Amino acid sequence: MATAAPFRRRPNRLALSTYAGPVVVLLTLATADRRRHFAAPRWAILGLRVLERVAERRRALVFAYCFMPDHVHLVVQVAGEGSVVDFVKEFKQRTGYAFRRATGRSLWQKSYHDHVLHRDEDLVAVCRYVFANPVRAGLVARADDFAASGSLVWGRGVLVEA
């Protein structure tokens, strides 16, 4: 009787060294079951406060963030010896813990999507794309009207397309 080969899940992350150093990464973190938790201002505000603390602790530049109802977009670069993987892990742990204590539910879907920006990609254009996500989703008419998005590096004016 032949035995089937064990199932091996393909890793969804690049080599960890890819995320270390001065790389800029576009991240998408989805909520568990794509529930619309961030539609409640309370959770978007908590997410932003945790994001600010984790960015400071991890010496990360958050060029853009957008707390959509059922997911979060981030454009991040971690300085020094840090890594984007560690940054995301801490952000999800801290927000997830606070959410679970308050609701008894999970906040995050496992893993996340990422795209390491190439040298020829325009950082400001990528950040403007993230900032305009609520307009494309029909949540607001103008990106500047969406309170749960911005930058921890630049003023909102940099993110508004001329």
**Number of domains present in the structure of the chain:** 1
Q: What is the pLDDT of residue 150?
A: 96
Residue 152: strand pairing partners: none
* Cβ 87 vs Cβ 75: under 8 Å: no
pTM of the model: 0.87
Which residues of the chain are modeled with pLDDT < 70?
A: 1-21, 162
CATH number, domain at 57?
3.30.70.1290
Q: What is the pLDDT of residue 21?
A: 61
Beta strands in 45-157 (DSSP E): 60-68, 71-78, 113-116, 149-150
Q: Which candidate, 68, 100, 72, places its Cα nearest to that of 87?
A: 72
Is residue 2 in a domain?
no
HSE-up (13 A, CA, CB side) for residue 24 = 15
Q: What is the pLDDT of residue 86?
A: 93
Q: What is the pLDDT of residue 3?
A: 59
